[in-house]
């Protein structure tokens, strides 16, 4: 029997990998312990791919040559452990897709800001006329993008999560970007921060001295980790608020300085379309790959001045009776919520809570007094939020749905306040994902 590829997981990553396998004439089957969404099931049927949901029928799998694992499946899942013990390679969909393209690759990871940075980077290259696509952990899967390309593209700009990096072994990027590293997903990393950090550094594992790793020189965890990472061969280029010996970008006289030998470029911070210190750093991280690829300064400047905010990341929803409603559902960890709270100067009614991933809320305790007037704890178990904030936030209430949370916020907020959905937690206790959570928030706000 001809060996076949087994895909674990029937979401966008898994179905995208199935598309690519079929496009390359490979035998493939897909297995998922959960429910496969109707639209994905229809795709699999149209491709005539054997698939199953609700459990693994291992007796039907036959001779497996490779496993492509979706990022939501942990490495210590029983089926993954069993397959690896048999010597079968288990890789991520990013790794699988990279095997089937000769395009240049820009990979962007980090705890916070990676989606904005990825979309900004892609916008610059698109405006510069490159034959490229943006994929990975944002939009279409990398595998689907490769499968659907009529001719091989020249470039892919990829958002890559730590879970996807864990399944990357041979992929080599032309440019890697680490926006920052702060505690997140520690439940997947044995609650050991060093394991999570090492996962992020995998973005540079195969890069050569002619390729560039871009990182935030203001981020102490990234800097400390890189100082010990002797195995990374890539040229290192920092960005941050202050100039350092290997800086590619910094702030000077309220302008971003983008450095190249004999050709510094200056962009006034006031000209950036996305406001806030964190977005200034995102703009630097997006502009540096463009400079490395010799994209014209006016294209970079135009993109950074016109780019629109992404859905679910500090997204303005409505102003009702003088109260602003902001959707920051993508803030699935404490540091993302910190950026959101720090960027708002008005009194805040804060909606937070969900599936805790080993959060340390202490970094927020000094930020919220005088800034957050009320905290709406939305989740099945809100004890950790109460333990962290009951002494510093005057009003705290519990809710168990988005409709109830929005209604409560409406009653607590006054003219001049901001209602901020910035959960600091994963969404899986009450919602399908952070997008579902954000869209429900917008739905119920608009119903007000």
CA 278 to chain centre: 15
Position 138 scores a pLDDT of 87
Q: Which of 276, 306, 336 is the last residue of a domain?
A: 306
Whether residues 133 and 252 share a domain: the answer is yes
> Which residues touch 6 (CB under 8 Å, ≥6 apart)?
28, 29, 30, 31, 61, 64, 66, 67, 68, 83
Q: Angle formed by the axes of helices 297-306 and 114-127, to 10°?
A: 130
Q: Where residue 408 sits, what CATH number does that domain have? A: 3.90.190.20
Q: Which of 274, 289, 306 is the last residue of a domain?
A: 306
Bridge-based pairing of strands 395-399 and 372-378 is parallel
Whether residues 333 and 210 share a domain: the answer is no
The pTM score is 0.80
Position 106 scores a pLDDT of 98
Quote the CA–CA distance of 101 and 96 in Å, as a whole number.
10
Whether residues 281 and 343 share a domain: the answer is no
CA 393 to chain centre: 29
Q: Which of 306, 325, 343 is the last residue of a domain?
A: 306
Q: Is residue 305 a contact partner of residue 368, using CB atoms and an 8 Å limit?
A: no
Q: What angle do CA 437, 441, 444 make, to 5 degrees?
A: 135
Whether residues 262 and 338 share a domain: the answer is no
**Owning domain of residue 29:** 4-88
Q: What is the count of structural domains for the chain?
A: 3
Whether residues 133 and 237 share a domain: the answer is yes
Whether residues 110 and 142 share a domain: the answer is yes
Whether residues 20 and 168 share a domain: the answer is no
In the block, tokens 């109260």 appear at 323
Whether residues 370 and 297 share a domain: the answer is no
Whether residues 228 and 324 share a domain: the answer is no
Whether residues 293 and 379 share a domain: the answer is no
Quote the CA–CA distance of 14 and 47 in Å, as a whole number.
13
Mean pLDDT by 10 residues, the chain (448 residues): 84 96 95 92 95 90 92 94 95 98 98 93 97 93 95 96 96 98 89 95 97 97 94 96 95 96 93 90 97 97 90 89 94 87 91 84 90 94 92 95 97 96 87 93 96
Whether residues 136 and 192 share a domain: the answer is yes
Position 343 scores a pLDDT of 81
Whether residues 50 and 140 share a domain: the answer is no
Q: Where residue 168 sits, what CATH number does that domain have? A: 3.40.1190.10
Quote the CA–CA distance of 6 and 26 in Å, as a whole number.
11
Neighbouring C-alpha atoms within 13 Å toward the C-beta of 428: 5
């Amino acid at each position: 029997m001809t060996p076949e590829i087994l895909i674990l997981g029937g979401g966008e990553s898994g179905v995208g990998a199935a598309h690519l396998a079929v496009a390359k004439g490979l035998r493939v089957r897909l297995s998922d312990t959960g429910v496969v969404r109707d639209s994905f099931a229809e795709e699999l049927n149209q491709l005539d791919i054997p698939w199953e949901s609700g459990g693994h029928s291992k007796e039907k799998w036959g001779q497996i040559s490779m496993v492509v694992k979706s990022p939501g499946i942990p490495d210590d899942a029983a089926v993954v452990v069993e397959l690896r013990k048999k010597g079968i390679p288990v890789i991520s969909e990013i790794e699988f897709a990279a095997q089937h393209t000769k395009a240049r690759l820009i990979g962007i990871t980090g705890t916070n800001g990676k989606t904005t940075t990825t979309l900004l980077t892609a916008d610059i290259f698109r405006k510069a006329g490159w034959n490229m696509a943006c994929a990975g952990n944002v939009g279409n899967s990398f595998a689907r993008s490769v499968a659907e390309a009529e001719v091989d593209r020249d470039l892919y700009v990829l958002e890559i999560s730590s879970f996807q990096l864990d399944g990357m072994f041979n992929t080599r990027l032309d440019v890697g970007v680490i926006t920052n590293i702060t505690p997140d997903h520690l439940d997947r990393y044995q609650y050991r921060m060093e394991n999570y950090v090492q996962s992020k550094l995998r973005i540079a594992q195969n890069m050569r001295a002619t390729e560039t790793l871009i990182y935030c020189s203001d981020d102490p965890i990234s800097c400390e980790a890189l100082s010990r990472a002797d195995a990374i061969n890539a040229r290192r280029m920092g960005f941050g608020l202050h100039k350092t010996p290997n800086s590619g970008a910094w702030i000077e006289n309220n302008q971003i300085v983008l450095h190249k030998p004999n050709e510094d470029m200056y962009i006034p911070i006031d000209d950036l379309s996305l406001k806030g210190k964190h977005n200034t750093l995102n703009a630097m991280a997006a502009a540096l790959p463009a400079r490395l690829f010799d994209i014209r300064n006016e294209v970079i400047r135009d993109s950074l001045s016109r780019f629109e905010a992404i859905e679910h990341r500090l997204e303005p929803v409505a102003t009702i009776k003088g109260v602003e409603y902001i959707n920051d559902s993508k803030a699935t960890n404490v540091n993302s919520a910190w950026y959101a709270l720090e960027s708002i100067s008005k009194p805040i009614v804060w909606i937070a809570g969900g599936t805790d991933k080993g959060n340390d809320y202490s970094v927020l305790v000094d930020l919220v007094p005088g800034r957050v007037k009320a905290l709406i704890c939305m989740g099945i178990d809100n004890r950790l939020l109460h333990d962290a904030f009951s002494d510093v936030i005057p009003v705290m209430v519990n809710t168990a749905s988005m409709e109830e949370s929005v209604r409560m916020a409406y009653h607590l907020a006054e003219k001049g306040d901001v209602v901020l959905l910035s959960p600091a937690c994963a969404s899986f206790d009450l919602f399908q994902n952070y997008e579902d959570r954000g869209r429900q928030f917008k739905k119920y706000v608009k119903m007000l």
